[in-house]
Structure 1
Amino acid sequence: MLRTRRWRNAFTLVELLVVIAIIGVLVGLLLPAVQQARAAAQRMQSSSNLRQIAQALHNYNATHNVLPAIFHGGYGNRYGSYTAYSQILPYLDGVQNYDLFNFSVGSSTGSSGWAYGPNSTALGKQIAVFVNPAAGRDRAPTGFNYASSWGTMDYVLPCVVDYRLSGGASPSLNPDYLDASKIGMFKFYEPTKFSDVADGLSKTFMVGDGVGGDAANPYIAPAGAYGASRICLPRTAAESGNAVHYDNYAYQAWAFGLSGSSYMQDQTSVWGSIVATTVDKGGNFYPPNDCAYEWQGSPDATTGAQQMANFRGPHPGFVNIAMGDGAVRSFTDSIDPETYQGLSTVAGNEIVQVGLE
């Protein structure tokens, strides 16, 4: 009797290893493409966010005939009460959050309006368009508590913004210290009109990348290191506990706390970094994506030059900036200093060509 031999279909060890190797090669080829596609999508979303913010500023101007000031002066014009970002909420589908604010407090009291206890609900609601999807940042501390004469605020995550308004090329944005030939589209306390933009909206910065958080800013320049003496060093654990965090609290104005205050857990101070300038405190060129520098002294708006942030994004080599006409353009880190500073001012009469950046 003949028996039929049955063969079992199976991979040999060699064949299995070959298949695994082929799959590994394919994954290796596909992964960069997937990452590039994801990065491209994030850049497109970030550009869309900038366009929406620029459009909201245009809509605010259409209603009020001016652009909002970076922040509005509070008690003694020292503590800013509310920022431009709180003012444009109604034009960003944030009208419900806007209605949560009590803007009547902080203008003549000893406490900033954002420190008014009942305002904590509004400050804690994150607006999606304010967040750069490519930031990958630590966002904000896990807790926030501030006790003031108006009551105690206690919430988990204050609203943050990853985009900065353009303050121009003046070392100070205080109206009393402004360099009139180098002002940008936004300054402290005082609004700007589109008619002030003599250089043309299409050739003037409006709002650009300004990613916050220590994860996005691992380097820092020593205090007082301006111009040629500037050097970027890795942030130390001690420096991570000081005031240079660039977390960009959207509604909290230019406020600061004394040592031992409880603004943000273990931090001793809070600095409003919702505005960027193209020069540092010493008036030197402050290029895009350059590192932050350690705060030195008080940025009190009643003094002279304040230390400002620069435009800084999550994409190596360039930043995205929305011009005054709403168009979003990319500017490389190696951009010519005169061109860069000229584009940030409203009436410097500089001859610059957008497109050579």
Structure 2
Amino acid sequence: MRKRNGITFVEAVILLFCIVMLLDLLLPAIGPPIHHARKMQCVNNLRSLAQATIGYTLNKKVLPGHTMDFGTFSSGVDPGLKNAGGSRITSHRKIGTWAVALLPYLDQQATWERWTDSRYPIAFSGDEEFPVSQGTAGVGYCGLSVPNVTVFQCTEDATLDSHSLGRNSYVANAGMHPDSSIGSVSLAQSMSVANGLFNNKFAGIGRNGKPIAIGPDVHLEDMMDGLGSTLLLSENANAMPWHRAGFFDASDLVVPNNASEIRYPTFSRYTHGLVWHYEDDSANTKAPPVNPVHLVNGVPTSSELETLKMSPINCANLARPSSFHQGIVHAVFADGAVRTITDSIDYRVYQAMLTPCGSKSDVPDPTFVLTDEIAE
């Protein structure tokens, strides 16, 4: 009798079928723990960012701004690059975001020094090991100055570009959107302490040729509605890279000839911040109804969160909490507690969470009182 070598085709098909069935049974069991672990990593990221923000605030006595001035690189070579060839680098301003201000409180001292030490540039300098940034990260930033930092990235965020620098999933409470068909206020008024936490700290040149208004100092004691009721930071699946103010490229950091300052990064409030709009679905106010895009996890009609990209046209609409956590978004409050916010939350509740003193704010209904409507 001839001995068989190997298995028959039919046996191979049966074996393959059994393997597929086994995987089909195992994957659903593996999936939930993976998603849970990713959610917990996101929660830990926000907790660390809150601790850093509170540490900054206790040290500086004020909260950071959504847009900030970190100094100037006068010109010269980059002492941090070994293979740059000794070429001289153009003088440029160092304008960044709230995330830059938190770097020393996140064990990112080397990157912090790149931003605050006048010897180091943040743009126009790169080599093969640390090339300059491209695309979403802005054209021309130094790779050494805008690295990928784990704490700024939610592992569930499907929009993060694996080839980009400065990847980011989080935004800060930037208060009121100043322009509305009915409730428009000045930029300065929109930055009042009662309307939000992170405001502008860079007097760049506006479209009218004059310096943009600087927001008031905001302190922890200004949160009259309570630290536990005031939202500090949140996820936003459409957030721009942590370092890039608005849509600035490196060339935008160069002071033009015969000018005293660079222009203001117009959209920086929205690329790195959450805002609330003067909207209300109640018939008891004069405010227009809430635009669905402004809701938690809101997206424009015929759009998907996974493919939605922030731009100068849509950034004000996309400055809202969003995530890939299926119906919820993680946010951290000024007391350091991380909570989940459902995408069915009432817009008045959202407005109340962003306003440190709702009764003195410019919300459509300042009499609304936040109770226990935040999902735990």
Task: Pick the TM interval, shorter chain.
Answer: 0.5 to 0.7
Other structure's SS at 1:21 match? helix
Alignment partners' CA distance in 2, 1:10 and 1:117: 61
The answer to whether the aligner puts 1:93 opposite 2:107 as a matched pair is yes
CA 180–65 in structure 1, closer or farther in 2 if over 3 Å, else same? closer
Alignment partners' CA distance in 2, 1:64 and 1:174: 27
CA 325–174 in structure 1, closer or farther in 2 if over 3 Å, else same? farther
Other structure's SS at 2:44 match? helix
Alignment partners' CA distance in 2, 1:10 and 1:104: 71
Partner of 2:188: 176
Is the contact between residue 61 and residue 219 of structure 2 (CA under 8 Å) also seen in structure 1?
Answer: yes
Alignment equivalent of 2:147, drawn from 125, 148, 154 = 125
Partner of 2:276: 278
What is the CA-CA distance between 1:73 and the residue it aligns to?
A: 5.5
Partner of 2:283: none
Alignment equivalent of 1:162, drawn from 159, 162, 169 = 169
Partner of 1:47: 43
| Greater mean deviation of Cα atoms: 346-355 or 124-133 | 346-355
Partner of 1:254: 246
The answer to whether the aligner puts 1:322 opposite 2:332 as a matched pair is yes
What is the CA-CA distance between 1:251 and the residue it aligns to?
A: 2.1
Q: Which amino acid aligns with 1:37?
A: P
Query: Number of residues paired by the alignment?
Result: 281
Is the contact between residue 280 and residue 307 of structure 1 (CA under 8 Å) also seen in structure 2?
Answer: no
CA 17–178 in structure 1, closer or farther in 2 if over 3 Å, else same? same
Is the contact between residue 169 and residue 182 of structure 1 (CA under 8 Å) also seen in structure 2?
Answer: no
Is the contact between residue 82 and residue 251 of structure 1 (CA under 8 Å) also seen in structure 2?
Answer: yes
TM-score by length of 1: 0.66
What is the CA-CA distance between 1:23 and the residue it aligns to?
A: 2.7
Alignment partners' CA distance in 2, 1:121 and 1:313: 27
Identity of aligned residues (%): 24
Is the contact between residue 53 and residue 63 of structure 2 (CA under 8 Å) also seen in structure 1?
Answer: yes
The answer to whether the aligner puts 1:60 opposite 2:56 as a matched pair is yes
| Greater mean deviation of Cα atoms: 180-189 or 28-37 | 180-189
Is the contact between residue 328 and residue 340 of structure 2 (CA under 8 Å) also seen in structure 1?
Answer: yes
Q: Which amino acid aligns with 1:275?
A: G
CA 60–27 in structure 1, closer or farther in 2 if over 3 Å, else same? same
Q: Can you list the C-alpha shifts for 1:35-89, whole angstroms capped at 9, x where unaligned?
A: 22211111110111000000000111121111111112699xxx98232111111
CA 174–205 in structure 1, closer or farther in 2 if over 3 Å, else same? farther
Q: Which amino acid aligns with 2:106?
A: L
The answer to whether the aligner puts 1:135 opposite 2:157 as a matched pair is yes
The answer to whether the aligner puts 1:188 opposite 2:200 as a matched pair is yes
Other structure's SS at 1:291 match? coil
Partner of 2:86: none
| Greater mean deviation of Cα atoms: 94-103 or 61-70 | 94-103
CA 80–96 in structure 1, closer or farther in 2 if over 3 Å, else same? closer
Q: Can you list the C-alpha shifts for 1:255-296, whole angstroms capped at 9, x where unaligned?
A: 547xx9999xxxxx9954111113279984521111277634
Counterparts of 1:139-150 in structure 2, within 5 Å, are: 139=161
What is the CA-CA distance between 1:351 and the residue it aligns to?
A: 1.7
Unaligned 5+ runs, structure 2: 72-92, 127-140, 180-184, 202-214, 255-264, 280-286, 301-309, 360-367
The answer to whether the aligner puts 1:69 opposite 2:61 as a matched pair is no
Alignment equivalent of 2:20, drawn from 19, 24, 34 = 24
Alignment partners' CA distance in 2, 1:24 and 1:100: 52
Alignment partners' CA distance in 1, 2:160 and 2:49: 23
CA 193–354 in structure 1, closer or farther in 2 if over 3 Å, else same? same
Other structure's SS at 2:358 match? coil
Is the contact between residue 70 and residue 116 of structure 2 (CA under 8 Å) also seen in structure 1?
Answer: no
Is the contact between residue 160 and residue 168 of structure 2 (CA under 8 Å) also seen in structure 1?
Answer: no
Q: Can you list the C-alpha shifts for 1:217-259, whole angstroms capped at 9, x where unaligned?
A: xxxxxxxxxxxxxxxxxxxxxxxxxxxxx4x1212223547xx
Counterparts of 1:287-306 in structure 2, within 5 Å, are: 287-291=295-299, 295-296=312-313
What is the CA-CA distance between 1:329 and the residue it aligns to?
A: 0.9
Alignment partners' CA distance in 1, 2:267 and 2:193: 26
Is the contact between residue 74 and residue 80 of structure 1 (CA under 8 Å) also seen in structure 2?
Answer: yes
TM-score by length of 2: 0.63
Q: Which amino acid aligns with 2:333?
A: M
Is the contact between residue 193 and residue 222 of structure 2 (CA under 8 Å) also seen in structure 1?
Answer: no
Alignment partners' CA distance in 2, 1:6 and 1:22: 28
Other structure's SS at 2:330 match? strand
Alignment partners' CA distance in 1, 2:123 and 2:311: 25
